[in-house]
Structure 1
């Protein structure tokens, strides 16, 4: 069958299905599931015979909406919070995994720029971090405790202040995505340059390992969460730039909804990172290496599994074959 004939034959059915999903106009879940199966069959047919067609993108997006609607309908009496964390966020992370990969790629490039700049310009670190902070850190290094800055202030004061600041950075990373993603990239650039130059500074002073044992106790979750927030900002930006088959405003609303959900999912990790920085990092130099390294590996492993691996587990479990 020619592609034009295929679209003409099924167009009315697809549009009717899309309208029903948007208006929640289904008499029962079985009706929705039945039409969903037909849609998946059409998607498979299109992927086989028209692999380069834009209709695949449309059907894929429609299938994603239908799946979420089916799951929601079947789980009306279940715990909404559990569903959010156990299924909804992982499915979104799977569907938008390329944006997550892009955010990490940008993070890596900008951090590398910070390292290279600090390595080639002796005054670069001071221009980024300020003379006062650099001088204080040099004094701490000479005193044998490179990360003594994390001992300043009370436990609770540090925890609250740090958490509020990290939440602000994460929220700004998402919200500024409204400028076509450029605002998000700027926030990443600013923070990654600082991170790269900061870490090189410790390397240059031959206390890199000591800094890693301290900074990354909380930094593993803190930095990872900010990158995920940046991915949400990029999703928002691309929803404006590339609306696809939707109107730009409809696509924008969808981008906001998805981005906010992803942003909220990072909050517990950000809170826990703040707790670690306020209550644990300050003791990093006194604790055994095995404990500090163990904390870093466990925290990094947990957040990496949830955002990078678990989405594939959930997708395979529900047998939803979508492209993105």
Structure 2
């Protein structure tokens, strides 16, 4: 696209950002994400243009209004995780909540199905896994599956699989959000059957202390990816005032940013599973600390911090974005 056309298509919106500030946190979040997208596009295709300085001024206004008394980083990479991703979490908080509810309901279905159908666990998890776990239980090491390979080999296998599941959960949103819901349903049922299997063998508490060392971050990431998939799918179903193409473009970009943003969490979960979970003999207090720390991080970064960020924006003076 030529620069003149790029400016013509967006100039009215940019002017609105300057002259018509809003106190609505959802609108502020959307504006911030949009202007950083425009700035990135301009830097890529018009590196010597004055448009970059103009857009940077608008974006800086958002930055200054969030943390007026703090020194801001101009690093695009840092700004993404510090501002853009949390604001996307806030903007799409209800879709992430729906993803969580879908997952929890499907997990409960998995638990109930496993309880009342003895063959269900084998159907979901496979005979090989169930037989291996029963053998490990007989040997006095019910979670021996986490020790059967070296740490490095296990890390690459688990990280690759989990990254695939996360990205696939998002991409399945292409099928009008139904694909993402099916992916959440499938993973939730598997987890429910998995947990009930150990509960039925008398290792319910132990399974939580061992498996959720990595599972807290891993499952949280899948749920967030489910939210991203709903952003993708709903952009096709509910374009609102946008054309369907523009709505789809926005949905893909915002869902993709959320998915990319949580990939480091998936990697950390794989590190935990490969290097930490295998130590099933660790003290209970240490397991609880890791679980609590992981859960606290997810709640803070995905829920609490985005709300605070949005509240800070909501309390701005009307002329804040003009600074």
Q: Is the 8 A contact 1:36 1:63 kept in 2?
A: no
Do structure 1's residue 188 and structure 2's residue 184 form an aligned pair? yes
Q: Which runs of 5+ in 1 are unaligned?
A: 1-18, 44-59
Do structure 1's residue 78 and structure 2's residue 43 form an aligned pair? no
TM-superposed CA distance for 1:67, in Å, is: 3.9
Q: Is the 8 A contact 1:113 1:196 kept in 2?
A: yes
The structure-2 alpha-carbon separation of the partners of 1:63 and 1:272, relative to structure 1 and needing over 3 Å to count, comes to closer
Do structure 1's residue 306 and structure 2's residue 306 form an aligned pair? no
Query: Which residue pairs with 2:266 in the alignment?
Result: 270
Counterpart Cα distance in 2 of 1:310 and 1:61:
15
Structure having greater relative contact order (Cα 8 Å, sep ≥ 6): 2
Counterpart Cα distance in 2 of 1:100 and 1:320:
25
TM-score (norm 1): 0.81
TM-superposed CA distance for 1:77, in Å, is: 7.3
Deviations 1:280-324 (A, max 9, x none): 0000x2111111111111112112211111110111122279xxx
Moved over 2 A (4+): 19-26, 31-34, 60-77
Residue pairs, 1:22-61, within 5 angstroms: 23-24=10-11, 33-37=17-21, 40=22
Q: Which runs of 5+ in 2 are unaligned?
A: 1-5, 36-56, 64-71, 317-323
Counterpart Cα distance in 1 of 2:133 and 2:27:
54
Counterpart Cα distance in 1 of 2:277 and 2:271:
9
Query: Which residue pairs with 1:319 in the alignment?
Result: 314
Q: Is the 8 A contact 1:216 1:296 kept in 2?
A: yes
SS of match in other structure, 2:118: coil
Do structure 1's residue 148 and structure 2's residue 135 form an aligned pair? no
Superposition CA RMSD, Å = 2.4
Counterpart Cα distance in 2 of 1:227 and 1:265:
13
Query: Which residue pairs with 1:66 in the alignment?
Result: 31
Q: Is the 8 A contact 1:174 1:229 kept in 2?
A: yes
Counterpart Cα distance in 2 of 1:181 and 1:125:
28
Counterpart Cα distance in 2 of 1:246 and 1:268:
32
The structure-2 alpha-carbon separation of the partners of 1:21 and 1:157, relative to structure 1 and needing over 3 Å to count, comes to farther
TM-superposed CA distance for 1:170, in Å, is: 0.4
TM-score (norm 2): 0.81
Q: Is the 8 A contact 1:146 1:210 kept in 2?
A: no
Query: Which residue pairs with 2:278 in the alignment?
Result: 282
Residue pairs, 1:94-173, within 5 angstroms: 94-173=90-169
SS of match in other structure, 1:180: coil
SS of match in other structure, 1:214: helix
Counterpart Cα distance in 1 of 2:115 and 2:85:
39
Query: Which residue pairs with 1:11 in the alignment?
Result: none
How many residue pairs were aligned?
280
The structure-2 alpha-carbon separation of the partners of 1:121 and 1:317, relative to structure 1 and needing over 3 Å to count, comes to same
- Quick check: 77-86 or 241-250, which moved more? 77-86
